[in-house]
Amino acid sequence: MGGQNPYIKEAQTELPAQRYTLTVIDEQKREHRVEVDPARIPYGDHGLPGSILDICMAHGIELDHACGGVCACSTCHVVVRRGLEACNECTDDEADQLDEAYGLTAQSRLGCQCVPNGRQDVVVEIPTWNRNLAREAH
Ligand code: FES
């Protein structure tokens, strides 16, 4: 599943014009470095094109996304440790979903809605409490 949520206002994004590095720190504190190639955006169909989720999915980095990346849950919660100013603005709809996220911080974003513009490298951390317990239980 993926694509656009017809019930929310479309987020304004600026896609990168040059390569940049996205570093994702996962729940086990492992670092995954991806060189984002603007020519390959969108990588897939999860989340906004060029979003953290879009990039993670294409590079085998696990980021929960229960709603498929349409801003209708908060399981893709990430904390942007560096480069937040190079990301699109958080919309009211995203902020509403983020309110449901455990451990919300001022740097929190939804991975499916957060689109870096490539003007600087970005570091995001996936909080350990993001873990989808239903999925982990089996
Ligand atoms: S995957 Fe549901 S809001 Fe991002």
Q: Quick check: is 101 in a domain?
A: yes
Q: What is the pLDDT of residues 65-105, one digit of tens each?
A: 999 999 999 999 999 999 999 999 999 999 999 999 999 99
Q: pLDDT band at residue 131, thresholds of 50, 70 and 90? A: low
pLDDT at 137: 45
How many domains does the chain divide into? 1
Question: How far apart are alpha carbons 91 and 38 in whole angstroms?
Answer: 23
Residue of 7, 67, 100 best suited for mutating to test ligand 1, as the one with most atoms within 8 Å of CB: 67
Q: Is the pLDDT of residue 113 over 80?
A: yes
- Contact partners, residue 46, CB within 8 Å, separation at least 6: 1, 2, 53, 54, 57, 65, 68, 69, 112
8 within a domain of the structure (yes/no): no
In a domain, 13, yes or no: no
33-62 pLDDT per residue, tens: 999 999 999 999 999 999 999 999 999 999
- Kindly state the average pLDDT of the residues 6-15: 88
Domain CATH number, residue 118: 3.10.20.30
Reply yes or no on whether the pLDDT at 116 is more than 90. Answer: yes
Pocket test for ligand 1, best of 112, 124, 130 (most atoms within 8 A of CB): 112
Q: Which residues line ligand 1 (CB under 6 A)?
A: 65-67, 69, 71-73, 75-76, 97, 110-112
| pTM for this predicted structure | 0.91
Which parts of 26-121 are beta strand (E)? 31-36, 77-82, 108-110
Mutate to test the pocket of ligand 1, among 75, 109, 130 (most ligand atoms within 8 A of CB): 75
Looking at ligand 1, which atom is closest to the CA of residue 71?
Answer: 3
Per the domain annotation, does 114 fall within a domain? yes
Domain that holds residue 79: 20-122
Q: Examine residue 54 and state whether it is found in any structural domain, yes or no.
A: yes
132 falls within a domain: no
Q: Give a yes or no: residue 130 inside a domain.
A: no
Name the residue with tokens 């919300």.
104
Asked whether residue 137 is assigned to any structural domain, the reply reads no
